[in-house]
Amino acid sequence: MAFDVLFNQFMSGIARAAILFLVASGLSLTFGVLRVLNFAHGSLYMLGAFLTYSIWKFLLIPSLGFYLALILASLIMGAIGLLIEWLLLRRIYSRGWPEQLLATYAIILLITDLVKWGWGGEFLSIPRPEPFTGAVSMFGFPFPSYNFFIILLGLGLVFFLWWLVYRTRLGDIIRAAATDREMVSALGIPIPWLFTWIFVLGALIAGMSGAVAAPFGAIRLGMDVEIIIECFAVVVIGGMGSLPGTLLGSFIIGEVYSFGIMYKPELALAFIFIVMAIVLIIRPWGFFGRPER
Amino acid sequence: MKSNPKKNKTSLKKYWWVALLLAAAVAAPFFISEFYLTIFGEALIMSLLALSFNLLFGYMGQLSFGQAAFYGISGYTVAMLITKAHFNFWLSLGAGVVVAAALGLIIGFFCVRLRGIYFSILTLAFAQLIYFVIYKWHDFTGGDDGIQGVYPPDFLNSSIHYYFFILIVFILATFILWRIVNSPFGYTLKSMRENSERTEFLGISIAKYQLTAFVIAAAYAGLAGALWAPFYRSMAPSALFWLKSAEPVNAAILGGPSLFFGPIFGMFIMTFFHAWVLAYTVFWAFIMGILILIVIFLLPGGMLGFVQEKIKERRENRNPTTGIN
């Protein structure tokens, strides 16, 4: 196969990996600190996309409107995350993980029907914002320039999270809490406070990823379920709660999907689960994770 | 029901309500409308799926998020054997269960090495893999068109007859599972749930026991799927989707996973509630979500667990001298 075709496929894989990283990093961050696998993370992403659509439509500013909507939708999702943590999650940290999983599953059901009720069932879309409307030619193939925006944002988030986790005091606390929660608490750091803000940050990132994905594909019901399962694959491969792991996982899943589509389009998603199953069997805690117990 | 000679009278007396419910189930077709009879049948079939899930969750302590794979693969086996190969009805049902159990053996082989959330995710991954294969393999499975025209033999064609068929299979299967979980095998599963390390020190091979339980659970999910295809006259790929796998999880949590009859109770509540709510609103998922949250927050042992607790409390209040059980 010609190099230019492969390169083009590789680049679309990178764009997909960037979206996956945006969503999965929030999931991984919450799991790393709270030890709660947030099933509803994809639903926060979906709600973010729908909110972006409505705000963009309400603002009616041609070029700037999308970016404004992106910021507003992210902030609103952060607030919704605060509400969810405050009303529900905080009350079940002491319970077993199956109940925590079920509680976040219940949130999926709530958000699905809220979206159905608020926006109806039809597909919505937002045009790509300036200056990312066109396509760039790469080895003769048109490559949507909006993909560069996604990749840039993904890289930006990588650096932001890296700075947050490895270069700030909050990051020290985050890493300490992921290792030994009781010890952190004994040192006088209010764990509930930490949990709340980590969950809010996760929800904010989920909302932002939804906003970014809005002009990328159709905004529709069901986008939550699609992305969350792929994100599970990402965090499982990389190791749950690990930032470099999430980056590697996103890259692998993005590329597997992209080349899978080229090889056998109808089985592209099946390939993802095969890769995930293989990693889980050989190394259940993923490439960068730690074995439990 | 056959009585166990080792058990004394009081332990059988405890289950008077089972006999009462059975009598109600037998009498039901003569009192309720055809619509509710269908719902009743559906609840019975889905209860088998819930029991399948809870053998792994309630007894073994492993939360499977992929039971729909076994349920769906068996339903598809039955549907395709009947519509395409014009196979004998009974052999088709048997084949469905066998295929589900065989799949359970393959998937279980990999899954039983994992614990906790990793077990859940791996079962989910395998189930989604099978879902995508069935969904995309249009030439063989019909893809998203599904398979229509799965008819049972003539004498089971009427809804009342098929209902009784389901009821008989349900009673037999439930009784067998009851005997399984109360056998040494069942107690071994429970001990693994409580402390797998200690169980291993007793010389018990955890992987072997868990795999056996996994295959039994797959066969039960397969039985539910095999009954479903001729009941609903068709099969669609949504039967394998992960949202289907979530149904038995919800049922067990709602009813009470620590009780044998909890998942059945939960599934009946869910199925009837679903049918009833849909008459008023399309926002079923929202109401279900609220219901799950209420049970998790207010009734941690599930609905049936809550009822049992209350009954126990009342009994203890009546004769406080027998406080120790």
Identity of the residue in A95, A270, A285 whose CB atom sits nearest the CB atom of B129: A270
ipTM confidence score:
0.87
With CB atoms and an 8 Å threshold, state whether B292 touches A285: no
Of A98, A106, A236, the CB nearest to B289: A106
**Contact by Cβ (8 Å): B124, B66:** yes
Quote the pLDDT of residue A81.
96
Q: What is the CA radius of gyration of chain A?
A: 19
Q: Measured between CA atoms, how close is A277 to chain B, in angstroms?
A: 6
pLDDT digits (tens, 9 = 90+) for B148-196: 888 888 888 888 899 999 999 999 999 999 999 999 999 999 988 888 8
In terms of phi and psi (left: phi > 0; alpha: psi -120 to 50; beta: otherwise), the region of A129 is beta
pTM of the entire structure?
A: 0.89
**Band (B3; pLDDT cuts 50, 70, 90):** very low
**pLDDT value, residue A206:** 96
Helix (H, G, I), strand (E, B) or coil at A256: helix
Put simply, the answer to whether B253 touches A277 (Cβ < 8 Å) is no
**Burial state string for B90-115 with b = 16 or more CB within 10 A and e = fewer than 16:** eebbbbbbebbbbbbeebbebbbbbb
Give the position of tokens 């080895």.
A139
How high is the pLDDT of residue A1? 59
Residues in B touching A88 (Cβ below 8 Å): 293
- Cβ contact, residue pair A106, B290, below 8 Å: yes
- Distance in angstroms (rounded) separating the CA atoms of residues A110 and B272: 20
Indicate which of A99, A105, A115 best probes the interface with B, i.e. most B CBs within 10 Å of its own CB. Answer: A105
Q: Which residues of A touch B296 (CB under 8 A)?
A: 92, 95, 99, 102-103, 106
Share of chain B above pLDDT 90, in %: 54
Q: What is the mean pLDDT of residues B5-20?
A: 66
Burial pattern B290-311, b for ≥16 Cβ within 10 A else e, equals: ebbbebbeebebbbbbeebeee
Contact B132 A270 (CB under 8 A): yes
Per-residue pLDDT of chain A (293 residues; tens, 9 = 90+): 577 788 888 888 998 999 999 999 999 999 888 888 898 999 999 999 999 999 998 988 877 888 999 999 999 999 999 999 999 988 888 888 888 888 999 999 999 999 999 998 788 888 888 777 777 877 777 778 888 888 999 999 999 999 998 899 988 998 888 888 888 889 988 888 889 999 999 999 999 999 999 887 779 888 888 898 889 999 989 988 888 999 999 999 999 999 988 888 778 888 888 898 888 888 888 888 777 64
CB pair distance less than 8 Å for B118 and A92: no
List b or e across A48-63, with b for residues whose CB sees 16 or more CB atoms inside 10 angstroms.
Answer: bbbbbbbbbeeeeeee
Which among B63, B114, B136 has the least Cβ separation from residue A98?
A: B63
Residue whose C-alpha is closest to residue B128's, from A236, A243, A255: A236
H helix or E strand, kind and range, residue B161: helix B159-181
Judged by DSSP in three states, A136 sits in strand
The minimal CB distance from B293 to the residues A97, A103, A236 is found for A103
AA identity, residue A269: L
Identify how many contiguous H helices and E strands chain A contains and give both numbers.
11, 2
CB neighbour list of residue A49: distance below 8 Å, 6 or more residues apart = A210, A211, A213, A214, A219, A223
**For residues B79 and B202, is the Cβ–Cβ distance under 8 A?**
no
Residue with tokens 């992960």: B242
For residues B320 and B170, the model is more confident at B170
Res B321: pLDDT: 56
State the DSSP string of B224-262.
HHHHHHHHHTEE-GGGGSHHHHHHHHHHHHHH-TTSTTH
Residues of chain B neighbouring A37 (CB-CB closer than 8 A): 117
CA-nearest residue to B136 within chain A is A266
- Check residue A219 and report its DSSP letter: B
Tokens of A267: 């089985």
CA distance B1 to chain A (A): 34
The answer for residues whose C-beta is within 8 angstroms of residue B298's C-beta and 6 or more apart is none
Q: How confident is the model at residue B2 (pLDDT cuts 50, 70, 90)?
A: very low
Chain B hits for A276, CB-CB cut-off 8 Å, are 121, 125
Report the helix count and the strand count for chain B, using DSSP H and E.
15, 2
Q: Do B125 and A98 touch (CB under 8 A)?
A: no
Confidence of residue B10 (pLDDT cuts 50, 70, 90): low
